[in-house]
Structure 1
Amino acid sequence: MGIQITPSILNADFAALGAEVARIPGADWVHVDVMDNHFVPNLTFGPTMVEALSKTTDVPLDAHLMIEDADDNALAYVEAGCGSVTFHVEATKAPVRLAREIRSHGARAAMALKPATPIEPYEDLLAELDMVLVMTVEPGFGGQNFLDLCLPKIRRARAMLDQQGIETWLQVDGGVSLETIGRCAEAGADVFVAGSAVYSADDPDLMISRLRATAETAAPHL
């Protein structure tokens, strides 16, 4: 599968999202942060906007649902055109059922964990998922500093995936930059969400290439 770079549009120009996505043709996915001002203290996009965005690009959309009612609303994002939908285990009543529903409707299913949420209680769920997201900042806002304390959890998650011999991707999100992506890749991540690092660059697509190269150099498991 190799390294994948997934720019977050949270740091893009909301008034011109179609044009902003057009600036990153080298992206593997476009990361869409969905926030409800309840699970996290911020309010962003809903399925109507996501559907409109999906019609402007061929790059697949990766929806990160930072909402309280993912059990009831996740499928709306599949229907809106997302190729991958991530729910937070802290806000999901039935994660296995939800993952199976997402997959049965044709999208990849992913589970996210906040920095303080351990991976160990969910080891038996990993085979039900297409991706696990380890948050490396507290979810809610872009531009935060990377939390090194999450690196051991990334390593433990990678060890669990390797031990089970499954192809579930391991994503990190939060403070990913040229300075931090190597540490994440070395710890075992293979999918990287980068918002500020990409959209604050003079050439966002060139930054994607630089992030990819840095991660590939540091990744021992590839």
Structure 2
Amino acid sequence: MTFDRRVKIAPSILSADFADFGREIEAIEAQGADWVHVDVMDGHFVPNLTFGPQMCRAIRPHVRTVMDVHLMIAPVDPYIDAFAEAGADVISAHLEAGPHIHRTLQAIRGAGCKAGLAINPGTGLDGVEYLLDMIDLVCVMTVNPGFGGQKFIESQVAKVKALRAMIGDRPIHIEIDGGMTPETAPLMAAAGADVFVAGSAVFRGGSVAKPEVYGENIRAIRAAAEAAL
């Protein structure tokens, strides 16, 4: 997984057909997805319950790109090794999920994965600055975590601009998660983001039987983001 700042589209399988994840992943990758985003929720840190390490292990053979695992769970540390062993390439933990995020990021890198730091819409950048040399990605939530299909929170554009300036020339991805569409992705691309998580905006209208719709949706988001650069 080499670093670059080109636009990357990371469909969230939270919006895929749960009964057919393997073929869904193969379809989105064939249609141009750069990463595969896996939203892990525990029903405690966020008000929803989704996937665990066993599901990640089951889909790993179908993922030929990057398996990007977003842990919306608390505590995080006891589960890092399990997700790493399941094949995660990137593991993101929330700044808000526990008191010792520095230790969590060390553990993620120690497990052989790229370390991501996720921040909620109501969280500022004060706690991010002293962690920049420990992370490979910042995931900025542009909806409140827990459910797909929510409305984009526009106040996060200014946050991403400030984050991009703070990162400077460090090789750190800025990932946007929530409400990404061809209308909102350009705002974040212009602000400095390079990874765009999209669930319903990618999967809406398509299926394993009609994968070309996924391709149309992915290309629309990519083209809109690239046009803003």
Shorter-chain TM-score tier = over 0.9
Residues matched between the structures, number: 217
Q: d(CA) in 2 for partners of 1:59 and 1:170?
A: 18
- Which amino acid in structure 2 is aligned with residue 70 of structure 1? V
Corresponding position of 1:24: 28
Aligned to 1:198: 202
Q: What TM-score do you get using the length of structure 2 for normalisation?
A: 0.91
Provide the aligned C-alpha RMSD in A: 1.1
2:146 maps to: 140
How far is 1:96 from its partner?
1.9
CA distance in 2, matches of 1:128, 1:201: 39
1:124 corresponding residue in structure 2: 130
DSSP 3-state at the match of 2:155: helix
Identify the residue that residue 209 of structure 1 maps to in structure 2. Answer: 219
Residue 74 of structure 1 and its aligned partner are, at CA, apart by 2.0
1:73 aligned to which of 71, 75, 79: 79
* Counterpart in the other structure of 2:17: 13
1:33 is matched with 39
Q: C-alpha separation between the residues in 2 aligned to 1:106 and 1:99?
A: 11
| Secondary structure of the corresponding residue to residue 120 of structure 1 | coil
> In structure 2, what is the Cα distance between the partners aligned to 1:205 and 1:23?
9
Structure 1 segments (4+ residues) deviating >3 Å: none
Q: Deviations over 1:164-200 (max 9, x none)?
A: x211111110000011000011111111100010000
TM-score, normalised relative to structure 1: 0.94
Alpha-carbon contact 2:37-2:70 (below 8 Å) kept: yes
Give the aligned partner of residue 43 of structure 1: 49
The answer (yes or no) to whether the contact 1:86–1:112 under 8 Å persists in 2 is: yes
Letter of the 2:199 partner, please give it: G
Is the CA contact 1:38–1:67 (under 8 Å) kept in the aligned structure 2?
Answer: yes
Give the distance between the partners of 1:121 and 1:54, measured in 2 at CA: 32
Tell me: CA distance 1:218–1:201, structure 2 relative to 1, closer, same or farther (3 Å). Answer: farther
* d(CA) in 2 for partners of 1:30, 1:205: 14
Q: Is the CA contact (8 Å cut-off) linking 1:71 and 1:93 kept in structure 2? A: no
Distance 1:142 1:68 in 2: 20
- CA offset at residue 100 of structure 1? 1.9
Q: Does 1:167 align with 2:160?
A: no
Q: Distance in 2 between matches of 1:34 and 1:145?
A: 20
- 65-74 or 169-178: which moved more? 65-74
